Structure 1
Amino acid sequence: MKHIIIGTAGHIDHGKTTLIKALTGRETDTLQEEKNRGISINLGFTYFDLPSGRRAGIIDVPGHEKFIKNMLAGISSIDVVLLVIAADEGIMPQTREHFEILKLLNIKKGIVVLTKSDLVEADWLDMIKEDIKEEFKGTFLEDAPIHAVSSKTKMGFEELIVDIDKLTEEVEAKDTEGHFRLPVDRSFSISGFGTVVTGTIISGKVSLGDTVEIYPGKVKAKVRGIRVHDVPSELGEAGQRCAINLANIKVSEVQRGNVVAKEDIMEPSLIIDCKLYHIKTAEKSIVNRQRVRLYHGTEEIICRIIPLDKEEIKPGQWAYVQLRLEKPITAQRNDRYIIRSYSPMNTIAGGIIIEPNAKKSKKVTAEYLEELKLKESGKSTNILENTVKNLSDTYPDSLAILKSLGKNMDNIEEELKSLEDQGTIIRLGGQDNSIFIHKDFLKDKTKELKALIEDFHKKNPLKFGMSKEEAKNKIFTKKLKQKNYDEILNMLVEKKTLKVSEKFIALYDFNVTLNKEQERMKNFIINEYKKLKFTPPKYVDLAQGEKDRAGFKMVYELLIDKEILIKLNEDCTLLKEDYEEAKNKVRNYILENGSISAATAKEIFESNRKYTIAILEHLDSIKFTKRVENDRVMY
């Protein structure tokens, strides 16, 4: 079923609230101050049962210029506007400002309602209608019905209701399949129930028992109860005004301007990139770093405007801008917003959010602007590719990509698979814990990695390669998990770019070349270890007779790097073949006898206690064996 929200707009004291009461029989001014002063201050809410059987939500907004902030909190979610103009006064300043806001928010359906028509003559009424037609020529209200009514006598109400019903039929249905989002316009506590929030669901749906998240604070809560138009319901859908009873949250933790949404799908941001229209009637150009008021959903945030494609933005111009906010916003791509001057407060601009999680742009390049144009009007796959490209250095999963996209994309896995098949993006990790990087990112990182290792080889010609861990820390961020790093290295091995051992990486075509003297050193070291076996020599003893101590050390370390020698600890190093023999001796003895003691191992190795303990403790550390009291068993 299609759900509709009707909103009022117009100058103060033109009869908006009285009109709604006459249509519905219900009062929307609930504050005592509103009743005392005879004006609306806050938003008013009710519903209207139409002849077709549809029940439309009604939002009545205040008309006074001081309360435009409250008006904006309600008007952003409407489908149809009743632009109210008092017949005895005609178009007034707030009529025009409200109408500019409606255009900037891309409201497409509306009816002009001439209230207090019983107070004027027919000729005057005709003149006012002509003024209205001239005022709204070329806008969404150009061909809108104009109804002259009297809330006092109900004159013209029958025809007005028929046209409201017709217009609501033309409204497009909201997206109920996307992610649930509800900008909060009220929050309060009810004794015995706890925290309640109200607002209009702008996308998706919410059910009893759902876990939701309150942004930007990222506080999670459980949906305990739902009321739609003051009737209990198990479900709330896009286009409906709802009151939601939330469990596990204090009323102080949620307020007007917050967004209640599906958990883990949004990312608050202090910087957003936008397309902005500076209205023609504005008195001044918008200049760089101008401080203004941003209105989005039900939130007001102070921010600065950074023009991206112009030095200044003249009235009547469109521009790409970056908005830098003084507190976080929770938005999605294609959301609408309004800009008012900081002081005095006048509506001066509005537009569309293109990138809700932008990065601070110090220098605006042609490439950056092209990216914005792509995000504004490109295909979803192009936007997705661009998002993965920008996020690659964070190694995002599909949820992180979805948050950054800033819009609903239920087929994201399908789109990612398509880009993967094209070779545009690369999937790392298993199907259930995938992360994604762009091919250009991998290309750049490969280039950096090769340059780093090449430099290492030049400085260390007798080292097999560079430490894998050191290379990871220098080229990749800490966010890259070890298993994904290993996947990247394996790809580069397959491409014959690198060769990799357990601890080291080297360029694929790099080989250590020893001169005659270095070959002598290598053979001497190996032979000494072969002779002494499980009572191995100390390095200092080996090096004692060497003239070129530095060269000897490099050859010794090369043998360790190439795992010809296995270093167990600072005092014990074994030849690889002896190390494997020691493991086999321990394994075979344990399999035959159940366990092995240090004393027995010492006899088997024909060694002393110091080296026997070093071997056994090393085998424990690699989880080959484990110690149980004074013996070892297989791990």
Structure 2
Amino acid sequence: MPVIMGTAGHIDHGKTTLIKALTGIDCDRLVEEKKRGITIELGFAFMDLPGDRRLGIIDVPGHERFVKNMVAGAAGIDFVTLVIAADEGIMPQTREHLEICTLLGIKTGLVALTKIDMVDEEWLEMVKEDVAGYLSTTFLADAPIFPVSAHTGQGLDALKSALSELVDTYQPRRRSDLARLPIDRVFTLKGYGTVVTGTLIAGSFKVGDDVVAYPKGTTSKIRNLQSHGQPVQVSPAGRRTAVNLPGLEVDDLERGEVLALPGTLFPSLVWDVELTCLASCPRSIKHRTEIHFHHGTRETLARIFLLDREKLEPGETAICQVRFAEPMAGVFGDRCVVRAYSPLRTVAGGRIVSPLGRKVKRFAEPGLEPLRRLAGAARDEVIPVQLELAGAEGLSFARLMVLSDLESRELDKALKRLCDTGGAALVDREGREGRTFVAASVVNRLMDELLAAVAAFHKREPLKQGVTRGEMASGFGRGLSPKLFHFLLERLLKTGKLAAEQEMLRLPEHKVSMASDQAKLRDTLLGIYDTGGLTPPNLKDVLESLNLTFKEAQPVYKVLMDQGLVVRIKEDMFCSAAAFKELVAKVAAYFETAREMDPSNFKDIAGLSRKFAIPYLEYMDKEKITVRVGDKRQFRRK
């Protein structure tokens, strides 16, 4: 598996010179670097090892003014070679670089004590003891120290052997999917066009892949790939990679963007971060402090919003939100570094617990508790918490890929287990971003709320059979996705907690409850229309005979229509539903032998005068039983 080594250390301690002595490659490529004799930008080299292996190397600048470049390089390394000059010992950037490596989660490395040709043995031993003592409380506590001289070659063979052995034993854990390449260089190469370089920190790229530069969303297709100057068809995770992107200009891209496959990253203005303030920080970090935020190869201004305190003291760790002026694309578990706005120095760092942060009320435990659980969750415990935080919005499979540390196969199995054990529900199988899942606790809460909404409707409208799906969708379901609303309804109907009659929804136990006077009116009206058949009395005459207004009688008419006992033919005309059904049967029988029907035919069939025949014909047209063609009707079913 490819491995990347990075250097760290104070300016002029010999990092670049040491790499040249080990590999024959001069990492200082800029004219300004040659002129000033210091490293300004990141440098790249490789060292061939026994067994046809190759160690990628990133050389970082040591000057305090270029620490941001150092962070960009360190973000892609697996282990570090801390370079300390024997004639100077531990210096400010020795400390800061080591702190940055710690914050980035680097846990392995060794120490190169350079320029030993400039000191005597006694001094060298004293410096070795001093370095060992300083490193005793760091991740390099047990790291071997190799005295070397790039000028005389002393100690270089031992260092090379140690590096080879470290590569043999070191097994970096990298995701094989979710390909990401944080861009650290953008340039034009004659005959190729625009090229970007970076360390592929996950997944792989192959020639012909469609790619997107996040967060801007610039798209292209990989024309060529190179690794350490050699063309390749596929570049795996952990390898320094140059990507040739046709159709783009240098100005279309910039350091800090992340090259990935389409639809795999989701830039956001808010991240939830588990942040640790360095014990060496001279002061606390206050709520809303503006900072320089480093992630991958990108540096940007941001503000820290502390959620459970007013300030983060040196040595303390807390969950906070980092808010950006422009969207950032990250993945759960990514490391970040925070530097003070002024004076510039590293003050904190941490781990992303959600790169899709949501609004959280400060000092509110219900919102904070899941974030704390997320920070300490085992890999298989992350998904339920992320779904819980997502609420009714749910999460697509693609978003869960960036919100967890699981590869696609693992994630697929974890979601299946979660759904099988009742911890989550698959609410959309064909969403724009793939399958969408919602936490079971959220589904259960929403089903209870939907049932409560139907019960409240019954209480408000006791004379109605129920509420239509459309009314529920535009009311209760207004803030939900259509797929989730449909899922809730279907689950309630399937379990019998909700009943449906065509488009009408009701609680199974609901019965139209009428007061005695309304029940009496219902029976009276039903008798009037049953007696009237197809020639019912005018609505005005019915109401006058009962000494009622339509407003008073309307609820009972609605019940009769909901129960399918009465049909409203037009504004002021109702008739018996049974009589109308017989009429439709007669019309259907007529069309068994005829293709068309004119009004006179209809009057003969129904035995009606024009006064009644025309409203019935128009109503049947409206109900799509018949269709009017000129002055005649045809049967739609035919």
TM-score normalized by structure 2?
0.89
Q: Distance in 2 between matches of 1:396 and 1:404?
A: 9
How many equivalent pairs are there?
A: 629
Q: Distance in 2 between matches of 1:150 and 1:310?
A: 50
- For the structure 1 residues 581 and 38, does the alpha-carbon distance in structure 2 shift closer, same or farther, using more than 3 Å as the test? farther
Alignment of structure 1 residues 250-265 onto 2, 5 Å: 250-265=249-264
Q: Distance in 1 between matches of 2:140 and 2:626?
A: 82
* Offset, 1:535: 6.9
Alignment of structure 1 residues 230-269 onto 2, 5 Å: 230-247=229-246, 249-269=248-268
Instruction: Kindly provide the amino acid, as one letter, of the partner of residue 457 in structure 1.
Output: H
- For the structure 1 residues 514 and 275, does the alpha-carbon distance in structure 2 shift closer, same or farther, using more than 3 Å as the test? closer
For the 8 Å contact 2:332–2:402, the answer to whether it is kept is no
Aligned to 1:502: 502
Instruction: Kindly provide the amino acid, as one letter, of the partner of residue 106 in structure 1.
Output: G
For the 8 Å contact 1:81–1:110, the answer to whether it is kept is yes
Aligned to 1:130: 129
For the 8 Å contact 1:149–1:157, the answer to whether it is kept is yes
* Offset, 1:271: 1.8
1:74 match: secondary structure: helix
For the 8 Å contact 1:332–1:407, the answer to whether it is kept is no
Aligned to 2:439: 438
Q: Distance in 2 between matches of 1:263 and 1:73?
A: 24
Aligned to 1:548: 548
- For the structure 1 residues 560 and 145, does the alpha-carbon distance in structure 2 shift closer, same or farther, using more than 3 Å as the test? same
For the 8 Å contact 1:333–1:354, the answer to whether it is kept is yes
For the 8 Å contact 1:85–1:91, the answer to whether it is kept is yes
- For the structure 1 residues 269 and 448, does the alpha-carbon distance in structure 2 shift closer, same or farther, using more than 3 Å as the test? same
Aligned to 1:472: 473
Alignment of structure 1 residues 7-406 onto 2, 5 Å: 7-190=6-189, 193-247=192-246, 249-405=248-404
1:295 match: secondary structure: strand
Instruction: Kindly provide the amino acid, as one letter, of the partner of residue 442 in structure 1.
Output: V
For the 8 Å contact 1:213–1:219, the answer to whether it is kept is yes
- For the structure 1 residues 582 and 417, does the alpha-carbon distance in structure 2 shift closer, same or farther, using more than 3 Å as the test? farther
* Offset, 1:114: 2.2
For the 8 Å contact 1:535–1:608, the answer to whether it is kept is no
Instruction: Kindly provide the amino acid, as one letter, of the partner of residue 437 in structure 1.
Output: V
For the 8 Å contact 1:357–1:406, the answer to whether it is kept is no
Aligned to 1:612: 617
For the 8 Å contact 1:272–1:357, the answer to whether it is kept is yes
* Offset, 1:524: 4.4
Range that drifts further, 379-388 or 341-350: 379-388
Instruction: Kindly provide the amino acid, as one letter, of the partner of residue 386 in structure 2.
Output: T
* Offset, 1:319: 2.2
For the 8 Å contact 1:395–1:437, the answer to whether it is kept is yes
For the 8 Å contact 1:546–1:552, the answer to whether it is kept is no
C-alpha distance after superposition, 1:265-302 (max 9, x if no partner): 22222222222221121111122222111111111122
Instruction: Kindly provide the amino acid, as one letter, of the partner of residue 221 in structure 2.
Output: K
For the 8 Å contact 1:184–1:199, the answer to whether it is kept is yes
Q: Distance in 1 between matches of 2:45 and 2:573?
A: 83
- For the structure 1 residues 316 and 515, does the alpha-carbon distance in structure 2 shift closer, same or farther, using more than 3 Å as the test? closer
Instruction: Kindly provide the amino acid, as one letter, of the partner of residue 613 in structure 1.
Output: E
Q: Distance in 2 between matches of 1:568 and 1:397?
A: 49
What residue ranges of structure 1 are gaps of 5+ in the alignment?
Answer: none
C-alpha distance after superposition, 1:570-606 (max 9, x if no partner): 6776654456556656666666556777886676555
Instruction: Kindly provide the amino acid, as one letter, of the partner of residue 50 in structure 1.
Output: L
For the 8 Å contact 2:534–2:576, the answer to whether it is kept is no
Q: Distance in 1 between matches of 2:574 and 2:396?
A: 43
Instruction: Kindly provide the amino acid, as one letter, of the partner of residue 109 in structure 1.
Output: T
- For the structure 1 residues 599 and 279, does the alpha-carbon distance in structure 2 shift closer, same or farther, using more than 3 Å as the test? farther
For the 8 Å contact 1:627–1:633, the answer to whether it is kept is no
For the 8 Å contact 1:598–1:613, the answer to whether it is kept is no
Q: Distance in 1 between matches of 2:174 and 2:580?
A: 66
Q: Distance in 1 between matches of 2:421 and 2:157?
A: 60
For the 8 Å contact 2:599–2:613, the answer to whether it is kept is no
Range that drifts further, 574-583 or 83-92: 574-583
Q: Distance in 2 between matches of 1:575 and 1:434?
A: 49
For the 8 Å contact 2:197–2:240, the answer to whether it is kept is yes
Q: Distance in 1 between matches of 2:15 and 2:25?
A: 13
For the 8 Å contact 1:266–1:406, the answer to whether it is kept is no
Aligned to 1:447: 448
* Offset, 1:424: 2.3
User: Percent identity over the alignment?
Assistant: 36
For the 8 Å contact 2:334–2:351, the answer to whether it is kept is yes
For the 8 Å contact 2:361–2:367, the answer to whether it is kept is no
C-alpha distance after superposition, 1:512-566 (max 9, x if no partner): 1234432343344445555666677765554344433233111112223334445
For the 8 Å contact 2:462–2:514, the answer to whether it is kept is no
TM-score normalized by structure 1?
0.90
2:143 match: secondary structure: coil
Instruction: Kindly provide the amino acid, as one letter, of the partner of residue 302 in structure 2.
Output: C
Q: Distance in 2 between matches of 1:537 and 1:24?
A: 105
